[in-house]
Chains A and B, each alone.
Chain A
Amino acid sequence: MIVPDYYEFCCRVKLLAGHDALERMADVLAERGIKKPLIVTDKGVAGAGLIDIVSKALSVSLNAHLVADTVPPDSDLRVVNELAAFYRDEGCDAVIAVGGGSVMDTAKGINIIVSENAADLMAFSGVGALKRPLKPMVAVPTTAGTGSEVTQVAVIKDHERHLKMAFGSYFLLPDMAVLDSRMTLTVPPFITAMTGMDAISHAMEAYYCLQKNPLSDAHSLAALSLLYRNLPVVTETPGDREARLEMAVGACLAGIAFSNSMVGMVHNLGHATGSVCGVPHGLCMAIFLPYGLEYNMHKRGDIMGELLLPLAGEAEYRETPREQRAKKVVSLVRRMNSKLNELTGGRHARCLREVVDRDGVPMVPREVLPEIARAALLDGASVYNPEEADYDDNVMVLEAAWEGEPLDRGKVKGG
């Protein structure tokens, strides 16, 4: 275990996890004196009937709450301002975000405006601009992947001015996160598979990237043992409530790990591929994870080898020679991707050339790889990657990930 000379760790989110956690949430809100929360969500979540479950649970202990389901797939400043005005006009006293990353970000944006009585959200962008606690916020994730219920960041897009505002502050951590198995039961296998791989990539990158620390390590290892065991189960049997709950807890643990130790090349290339080609984030994570491991193996091989224990169990860990463990971890990640590919009827792509849109059109033509490699140079995740990655390195990794061939580690320029 590496104990850094100095590190920081913070997670002050109260977690409620269980098959009836939503009902307990209502009790906790009532105990805190909250009378009229605003539920923020999107039409997909509302259409799946999840808000009905939340509303029913809230009505056990609260007399009133409001629902706004206008959050778009990409967070939008105009919607944030509209919903903040709605919150004020209706005299709400808390925000409950029910959904994925965009809903969480929108709720955080609303909370900044109503707490700071702000006219311009831009004044609070950047790291550390918020100086005091915000109003109460609850996060109810509806996928097991992003971990945004325990992260201290938000990204709001101003589509009119073509600006992307990023916010970072411990005050953005929700007061409470509710992990209820009912919230993910209806997620289709394809989405389940890629969001689960997103969570696995959080746990793994948090474990081997530069900002790792003993506390984030503990969260990563616990997360991996839950996620790796349960991901094929929930993909094959979406209605398995026990496995769904374990996935939700695993994704939350992974979220705590990576929000305290950051991520590296896998997210770096994933963000770039998402912005250039519109490939879903989770799918990018699934594809790039084995390559991130291979690229950094010459620097972090021993540390990566430790990940074999939560993935394969004690017997296989002991039987595998120490110098083979990291390679075994990579092969297990690839095996998981193949299994998910099989379980989703081929929708879970194993390499970039297999990624297609709804009409079956390839989303990542080979000729855009240089553009992705350039875009990756603008992403902050590269700072935390153990090995430097310049344009040529990015192209090399992207080419291998496009073909679906293992990385030729002999070509990695060691530092």
Chain B
Amino acid sequence: MELVRDVQAGKKPFKRAYVGIFLWFTGKAVQAAARSDEQVKREFDALPDDFAFSMGCLPNGPWMVVGKEEGAVKYLGGNPEGRHQHLRLKIKNLEAAFLILTFQESTAMATVRNRIITDGELPHALAVMRVLDIVEVYLLPRRIAKLAVKRYPRWPLKRKLFGRFAVYTRTLLGF
């Protein structure tokens, strides 16, 4: 009888793929929003010139890395290794990431329930969380976005329509 067994973490390919695609798309959308939305621009302007942050799940990812390069905000891929990051938002495991990214739990409640570890300075984390909230409002239909953010913003129609068009277009075309 086998008494000792080497237990490996489950691979959960569907959830991993979903989380990976969501983070990739969100990273691209943050880059797009930083070029289209004044509030997102202001948030990044207030951060250090070489600011970079990553968000992903422990222990094995997936991750997204976003940072400023030569004054422009860019999606820097899915590999956080070997790159200095001012901030790492680490979701404790894939299940928690799936809960958050399928909007079964808002980002605020996930933080409150200790599902996210913030590694870095708090003001940076708060700025990134505000940016992610704005990006979610752009990307998601109102009904779903309301589950993701604490307060659904009352934006002028112009910002809502043109902003969403610009963010989606830039995200999909990658400029």
Residues of A whose CB lies within 8 Å of any CB of B are 4-8, 126-128, 166, 210-211, 262, 377-380, 382-384, 387-388, 413-415
Contacts and interface: CB of A to CB of B under 8 A. Distances in A.
Nearest to A382: B126
A126 B119 CA distance: 7
Contacts of B123: 378
Interface in B102-145: 108-109, 111-114, 117-119, 122-123, 125-126, 129
Contact of B117 (A127, A211, A379, A384): A127
B109 A8 contact: no
B151 interface: yes
B127 to A, nearest CB: 8
Interface in B150-170: 150-152, 154
Contacts of B122: 166, 378-380
A262 B122 CA distance: 15
A413 B149 CA distance: 14
Contact of B151 (A7, A8, A128, A387): A387
Given A127-B118, A380-B126, A210 B151 contact: no
Contact of A413 (B109, B113, B151): B151
Contact of A388 (B109, B113, B119, B151): B151
A211 B112 contact: yes
Contacts of A384: 112
Contacts of A126: 119
Contacts of A388: 149-151
Q: How large is the interface on B (under 10, 10 to 19, 20 to 34, 35 or more residues)?
A: 10 to 19
B92 to A, nearest CB: 11
Interface of B: 108-109, 111-114, 117-119, 122-123, 125-126, 129, 149-152, 154
A383 B108 contact: yes
28 contacts: A5-B113, A6-B113, A6-B114, A7-B113, A8-B114, A127-B117, A127-B118, A128-B117, A166-B122, A210-B112, A211-B112, A262-B112, A378-B123, A378-B126, A379-B122, A380-B122, A380-B125, A380-B126, A383-B108, A383-B111, A383-B126, A383-B129, A384-B112, A413-B151, A413-B154, A415-B149, A415-B151, A415-B152
A262 B113 CA distance: 11
Contacts of B126: 377-380, 382-383
B104 to A, nearest CB: 10
A384 to B, nearest CB: 6
Interface of A is mostly: loop
A382 B112 CA distance: 11
A55 B2 CA distance: 61
B112 A383 contact: yes
A389 to B, nearest CB: 9
A387 B114 contact: no
Contacts of B118: 127
Contacts of B150: 387-388, 415
B109 A210 contact: yes
A262 B114 CA distance: 12
A382 B126 CA distance: 9
A413 B153 CA distance: 9
A155 to B, nearest CB: 12
Contacts of B119: 126
Contacts of B114: 6, 8
B97 to A, nearest CB: 15
B112 to A, nearest CB: 5
A6 B126 CA distance: 23
Nearest to B39: A390
Closest 3 CB pairs of A and B: A415-B151, A388-B151, A378-B123
B108 to A, nearest CB: 6
A378 B125 CA distance: 9
A380 B126 CA distance: 7
A413 B150 CA distance: 12
Nearest to B120: A126
Contacts of A210: 108-109, 112
B144 to A, nearest CB: 15
B109 to A, nearest CB: 7
Contacts of A379: 122, 126
A378 B43 CA distance: 12
B45 to A, nearest CB: 14
Contacts of B152: 415
Nearest to B124: A378
Nearest to A386: B150
A210 B106 CA distance: 12
B159 to A, nearest CB: 15
A203 B108 CA distance: 21
A414 B113 CA distance: 23
Contacts of A378: 122-123, 126
A415 B129 CA distance: 17
Contacts of A166: 122
Contacts of B117: 127-128
A383 B109 CA distance: 9
A218 to B, nearest CB: 19
Contacts of A262: 112
Contacts of A415: 149-152
Of B109, B129, B151, B154, most A-chain CB atoms within 10 Å? B151
A328 B154 CA distance: 31
A127 B89 CA distance: 13
Contacts of A377: 126
